[in-house]
Amino acid sequence: MKTKLLLLSAISALMFVSSCSSDDDTITPSIPELEALELSNCSSGIAEGETLILENRNNGVDYIINCTYPVNGDLIIDPGVTIQFGTDATIRVYNSGSIQALGTAQNKVVFTGEDKVPGSWKGLYIISSDVKNKIEYATIEYAGAVGDDGAILLWSDTHLKMNNTNITNSQTYGLHANTNNNELILENNTITACKAPMYLDASYVSAISNGSYTGNNTDAIIVDRGFIDEDHTWTKLNVPYHFPNGVDVVAGGNLTVMPGVIMKFGQDSRLFINEGASGPKPSIIAVGTAAEPIVFTSIDNVMSAWRGIYFDSPNALNEIGFATIENASNPDQEGAIETWYGTVLNVHDVTFKDIQNCAIHQYKFPADPDTLTRSNLTYINVANAFCQN
């Protein structure tokens, strides 16, 4: 009898639920998660003119790549997709191809290594000028195997917009781009636990805005010696810029350095504003504020570690103000600031510190007008404030 009563109670409950449900109610069946799919067509990859869309298949690894996967068409990666790479695997985006990793703040695209150790896979290699190239709201981790030298490695004539992306645990650099004619937009990215955040040609420094770049072996944007021959603006980041081999502002170049920027120079290097034989005269405007001075110093914090700033330009825009210049001047450059004949320069509100020879050294013929303006300068441990030939 007890069993029958329990059965009737159960039937009654079911009837009650059914009577309370409308005919329009539908039950959505759960969608089973799919196993990770290996992209194994490594000889052909994505052909020119083709498009491959990688969709989110599950809550774990969606796709596996164990080779050098060539992209000659369009690769589109949806939000939430995770791609796992085997040892030395990589995606290579060639001239006719493009990559769009389109994550969101809630559903990032993840590129990761199977072994979960720095350098376990090569990274993303992009050789494409396609304006569709975009990486946003992504995580790139455990890449940068030695030899390719970057979790993202860009070759000449590449276009890339990368924003809100986290690069971490690269065995080498987070981003490596020191070849010619790239077009980059780098906004609000975070690079940490890498050899250094970025290794860039000097012409790409102005592509960086905001972001965080601490927690690396070297907390600095490393700038390969390059030539500034257009209008560029370098902004303050939460790490300094390192110039191991210096940098040149040449004909047609106009460099603006914003308040708070820290520029550190390698042994015997210099910042050279060089008019050359022809072309528009180059200039530098490096004007900080009292609260946020611009700092020109050395990577090695010792006296005479770098040459200094050398001017050979009659451009009336040349100005250095509210700045600190330290550890400059050595046997190859007598002045921490050195000006060649005819240079026009306004130097004001600058502190010279730990200068072995001259704070300012001017080359000038006695009969020539003085085109060097100096005001409100401070000298700390400086051998000579001003020298003239």
Can you give the length of the chain in residues?
A: 389
CB distance 137 to 108 below 8 Å: yes
Ordered per-residue pLDDT tens for the chain, 389 residues? 333 332 323 333 333 333 334 444 555 555 568 899 999 999 999 999 999 999 999 999 999 999 999 999 999 999 999 999 999 999 999 999 999 999 999 999 999 999 999 999 999 999 999 999 999 999 999 999 988 799 999 999 999 999 999 999 999 999 999 998 899 999 999 999 999 999 999 999 999 999 999 999 999 999 998 899 999 999 999 999 999 999 999 999 999 999 999 999 999 999 999 998 778 999 999 999 999 999 999 999 999 999 999 999 999 999 999 999 999 999 999 999 999 999 999 999 999 999 999 999 999 999 999 999 999 999 999 999 999 99
Q: Would the pTM count as exceeding 0.85?
A: yes
DSSP-assigned states of every residue in 280-309:
SPPEEEEE--SSS-EEEEESS-STTSB-EE
Q: Is 89 found in the same domain as 153? A: yes
In sequence order, which residues have a C-beta less than 8 Å from that of residue 203 and are 6 or more positions away? 226, 227, 228, 229, 230, 232
Q: Which of 267, 340, 360 is nearest to 306 (CA)?
A: 267
* The total number of structural domains that make up the chain: 2
> Where are any strands of DSSP class E within 220-277?
221-224, 227-228, 231-234, 241-243, 247-249, 254-257, 262-265, 270-274
CB distance 319 to 297 below 8 Å: no
Whether 355 is in a domain gets the answer: yes
DSSP 45: -
Q: Is 235 found in the same domain as 216? A: no
Q: Of 197, 224, 251, which residue constitutes the final position of a domain?
A: 224
Q: Is 245 found in the same domain as 356? A: yes
Q: Of 224, 253, 277, which residue constitutes the final position of a domain?
A: 224
Q: Of 164, 196, 224, which residue constitutes the final position of a domain?
A: 224
Q: Is 231 found in the same domain as 199? A: no
Domain assignment of residue 312, given as a range: 226-389
